[in-house]
Amino acid sequence: MDPGRVINKLKELGAKRILLQLPDGLKPNVFEYFNELSKNFSVMVSSSGFYGACDTGTMDEWKNVDAVVQMGHTEIPNINYKVPVIFEEYINEEHRSFNELDLSELEKKNYKNISLAYSIQYRKSAEELSQFLSERGFKVSIGRHDSRLKYDGQLLGCNFSPLHDQESHVDCHIIVSTGVFHALGAQLSVEKEVFILDMSEPFRLRSMKAEAERHIRRRFANMARALEAKKFVIVVDTKIGQYRMKLAEKMMKEVQGMGKSAVLAYSNESSPIEYENMMADCIIFTGCPRVATDDFDRYKSPILTAQEFNMIFKKKGNGKYIMDEIVTVDAMP
Ligand code: SF4
């Protein structure tokens, strides 16, 4: 954190009481940050987990603060945040040499035009990789972002707009990140082959094709279980960047129009046991799409995104998987 910058911004806002949100990786620094900010402000630390710029606290927390300081993430520009939020981006500055990177997979497949994208921490690494690939004769491009993202080439687990921007004129995509979260979502959302360059170990390019295909098969099996469902719970997530009430209301109408029962449920932290207690046959989750696509094993009943509902009940996509991506959310009341 650059305390001077944050403190100046908070002073400009006239903030007195602030909520400080730290991702797990930065929580060990909580005393340092708290003490620094407490010299000027009354600070409350959020002890709950949070999911990123789509989750800047709850209504109850906002009532007690003038501003939120969120570390490690980048704003989602088209969200109308209820209280001012200062985002302290975390960009991994570690320089890594790409000289040992094995490019044979790209060469074997004759992939020459490559779109590069990244999770926000690896923005700088993606720039370095772009230069490295260009020097080796590849044509590298960075896709334009839509209004939910701040930078070209940036990805969220619910928004792959830079890849869609490039999909028609590249041979493949490379995602610079750690873990498969962004790269798997990317491969579920585009047709062209996606490679992850995992910045942890092993440091190599890895195709996401097979993993995404396995994942899609498991999703279709989960979705098929919903076909016989009679009682649906349609969930609206109350996190500010996941709030899609209009979509949930639309889903209510769709389900009721099929002669099925449906209830609308509010949730801030989705808990499988709640839906088990409701004896729901199927959950349609309109908040973060990754709850349904990645965490479905935790739920007894099938849990679907709105896109998945349309795929199985409305035959949308003609058998092709459609990733639920978020471009805009509704303004919260
Ligand atoms: S909605 Fe999900 S994927 Fe999108 S930013 Fe929030 S946590 Fe990440």
Closest protein CA for atom 3 of ligand 1 = 157
Q: How confident is the model at residue 201 (pLDDT cuts 50, 70, 90)?
A: confident
- Boundary residue ending a domain (185, 207, 229): 207
Q: How confident is the model at residue 26 (pLDDT cuts 50, 70, 90)?
A: confident
Domain membership flag for residue 173: yes
- Boundary residue ending a domain (173, 207, 241): 207
* Whether residue 292 has its Cβ less than 6 Å from ligand 1: no
- CATH code for position 309: 3.40.50.11860
* Whether residue 243 has its Cβ less than 6 Å from ligand 1: no
Q: How confident is the model at residue 202 (pLDDT cuts 50, 70, 90)?
A: confident
Same-domain pairing of 83 and 110: no
Same-domain pairing of 116 and 197: yes
Residue 212: pLDDT over 90: yes
Domain membership flag for residue 145: yes
Same-domain pairing of 14 and 78: yes
| Number of other residues whose CB lies within 10 A of the CB of residue 293 | 27
The span from the CA of 303 to the CA of 290, in Å, is 11
Domain membership flag for residue 332: no
Question: What is the number of domains present in the chain?
Answer: 3
- CATH code for position 188: 3.40.50.11850
Residue 2: pLDDT over 80: no
Same-domain pairing of 71 and 149: no
Domain membership flag for residue 329: no
Q: Residue 264: which domain range?
A: 219-313
Same-domain pairing of 81 and 9: yes
Write down the pLDDT at residue 152. 98
Q: What is the amino acid identity at position 9? A: K
Same-domain pairing of 121 and 202: yes
Residue 322: pLDDT over 80: yes
Same-domain pairing of 201 and 112: yes
- CATH code for position 71: 3.40.50.11840
Q: Which atom of ligand 1 lies nearest, measured to the CA of 185? A: 3
* Whether residue 158 has its Cβ less than 6 Å from ligand 1: yes
Domain membership flag for residue 297: yes
* Whether residue 56 has its Cβ less than 6 Å from ligand 1: no
- Boundary residue ending a domain (60, 88, 116): 88
Closest protein CA for atom 7 of ligand 1 = 51
* Whether residue 242 has its Cβ less than 6 Å from ligand 1: yes
Write down the pLDDT at residue 49. 81
* Whether residue 290 has its Cβ less than 6 Å from ligand 1: yes
Of the candidate ranges 25-34, 78-87, 239-248, 256-265, the one whose mean pLDDT is the lowest: 25-34
Domain membership flag for residue 325: no
User: pLDDT for 61-114, tens place per residue?
Assistant: 999 999 999 998 999 999 999 999 999 988 887 888 899 899 999 999 999 999
Same-domain pairing of 112 and 162: yes
Write down the pLDDT at residue 315. 92
User: pLDDT for 176-188, tens place per residue?
Assistant: 999 999 999 999 9
User: pLDDT for 40-65, tens place per residue?
Assistant: 999 999 988 888 999 999 988 999 99
Same-domain pairing of 45 and 130: no
Same-domain pairing of 190 and 108: yes
This model's pTM is above 0.75: yes
Domain membership flag for residue 330: no
User: pLDDT for 261-272, tens place per residue?
Assistant: 999 999 998 889
Same-domain pairing of 81 and 32: yes
Domain membership flag for residue 213: no
Same-domain pairing of 188 and 223: no
Q: What is the mean pLDDT of the chain?
A: 95
